Amino acid sequence: MAVVAAAVVATGAVSACSGAPASHAKGAITGNLTIFAYSDAFAPAVFNSFTKQNPSLSVQQADISSDEEGVAKLKAGFQADVVNTCAGPVSQEIGNGDLQPIDTSRIKDWNDIYPFFKSIAGVDVNGKTYMLPLVGGAYGLAYRPSAFPTPPTSWKQLFTTDKRITEPDDPLTSIIVAALALGYFPPQSMTAAQLANVKQLLIAQKKHVVTYYQGDALSTLWADNEVDITPIDITLVDQLHGKNVAFAPMNPPLAWTCGYSIGKHAQNLDAVYAYLNYALSPLVQDAQATSFSYLVSNKMSAAKLSAAVLAKTGQNNVGKYHTAATFGTPSNIATWTQLWQDVKAAGS
C-alpha cells in the first residue's frame, strides 16, 4: 500500500480515506462527485478502486493542505460534496453553515463505530450528526534521542526544556498542549485566569522556540536538525525521516479525530453516501491502520488487524481514549485565537 506523506495540518490531524476496494454495486452511481480532502485520500492505490467500481460517476478531487485552508475555502463558497474534516475545524464549518447533517441510517456500519469516536465534539451537534468519524490518533512528543537521553514523560517538559522547540502555528494545538502541561482538563473549559496562565507559559517558552511551523515544514525542520522536540501526532513520526527521532506518549493523552462531512450544496447524495460507506468499510480502514498507524473507528475493521498493528496504533487500548483530551473547538475560540496572536506578537 503506497504511503503518501500527508500534509501535516495545524492540528496535526491527517485524515485519509484510503485503502482497498469496498464492495459496491458496479455502475450504480452516476453523475458528479467533488471530494475536498487531504492528498493521501487520493493516493491511486486506495482511491482508484472507488472510481473503478463507479465508472459512471465523474469524481473531481480538490486538495486540502491545512484545516485553516479548508475552513476558509468553504466559507468563501467553494462547493464540495464530501469534505474531509477533523474535530476542531468541523465546528467552525458547521458554524459557517457549510455542512449538512449526515443521515446515519444510510451509513451501513454506523452501529459498529466505537462510542468514543461518536462522542467527539463536532460529530454530533444539537442532535444532528455532521461528521462521520473515521480515524484518529494520539498526540505526544517527538524528540531527538541525542538531545534527550532520558525520554520526556510529561507535557510540562516541552515548556521547561532548554532544547530547541518547535510548535505548530495553530492556536488549538498549542493552547491545548500548554493547558495539559498546566494540568487544566478538559482544556476547552479553561477559565479566563487559566487562559492567562497558558498565555504566560507560551510566551515564556518562546525563548527556546525556533519557529512556529505550518503545513509540512516540520519534516524539513527535523531533517535539517533545526529542532529537538515538538508535539506531534504519532502517525506522523515516521515522516520525520526515521532518524534520530523517537516518540513519547503523554499523560493525559490527547487524541485527534478526522472523518468526512457532507457539503452544504451536495446534490448527488447517492454518490456521497457510496463514498462515505466506502471510507468506513473494513478493508479501507485496515489499510489506514496498517499504512498510517491510525486508530480506526470501525470495530469490524479493528477485529481483523494483526497484533503488531494493534499494539503499534494503540487500537488494542482504544478504550483509554474515552478520557483523552480532544481537539474539540472551545466555545470561546475567538478568545483562544486572539491569545495565540498575542503570544506570537509578544517580543516583536
The helix/strand/coil state of 72 is helix
Which parts of 32-91 interact with another protein (CB under 8 A)? 68-69, 71-72, 75
C-alpha cell at 198: 497558558
Which parts of 267-286 interact with another protein (CB under 8 A)? none
By rule CB under 8 A, what count of residues binds another protein? Answer: 33
Q: Could you tell me which stretch among 53-61, 138-146, 147-155, 207-215 binds another protein (CB under 8 A)?
A: 207-215
C-alpha pair distances (Å), 120 with each of 218, 223, 273: 27, 34, 21
- What size, in residues, is the chain? 348
- Least distance to another protein, CB of residue 78, Å: 14
* 211 binding another protein? (CB under 8 A): yes
Residues facing 142 on adjacent strands? 230, 247
Q: Which of 125, 209, 248, 283 binds another protein (CB under 8 A)?
A: 209
What helix, strand, coil percent values describe the chain, rounded to 5? 40, 20, 35
Q: Could you tell me which stretch among 55-63, 110-118, 202-210, 267-275 binds another protein (CB under 8 A)?
A: 202-210
- Least distance to another protein, CB of residue 147, Å: 12
C-alpha pair distances (Å), 337 with each of 53, 159, 327: 43, 20, 14
- Least distance to another protein, CB of residue 83, Å: 16
- Least distance to another protein, CB of residue 76, Å: 9
Q: Which of 60, 251, 331, 341 binds another protein (CB under 8 A)?
A: 341
- Least distance to another protein, CB of residue 275, Å: 27
Q: CA–CA separation, 274 vs 276, rounded Å?
A: 6
Residue of 181, 138, 140, 143 whose CA lies nearest to 317: 138
The helix/strand/coil state of 111 is helix
Which parts of 212-241 interact with another protein (CB under 8 A)? 212, 214, 217, 220, 224-226
Say if residue 134 is exposed, middle or buried (CB neighbours under 10 Å; 0-12, 13-18, 19+). Answer: buried
CA atoms within 13 A on the CB side of 291: 25
* 150 binding another protein? (CB under 8 A): no
C-alpha pair distances (Å), 182 with each of 54, 152, 301: 51, 16, 37
Whichever of 125 and 217 has its CB closer to another protein, that residue is 217
- Least distance to another protein, CB of residue 144, Å: 12
Which parts of 160-189 interact with another protein (CB under 8 A)? 164, 169-171
- Least distance to another protein, CB of residue 232, Å: 18
Q: CA–CA separation, 57 vs 11, rounded Å?
A: 33
Amino acid (1-letter code) at residue 244:
N
* 98 binding another protein? (CB under 8 A): no
Q: Which residues bind another protein (CB under 8 A)?
A: 68-69, 71-72, 75, 92, 96, 164, 169-171, 206, 209-212, 214, 217, 220, 224-226, 334, 337-338, 340-342, 344-348
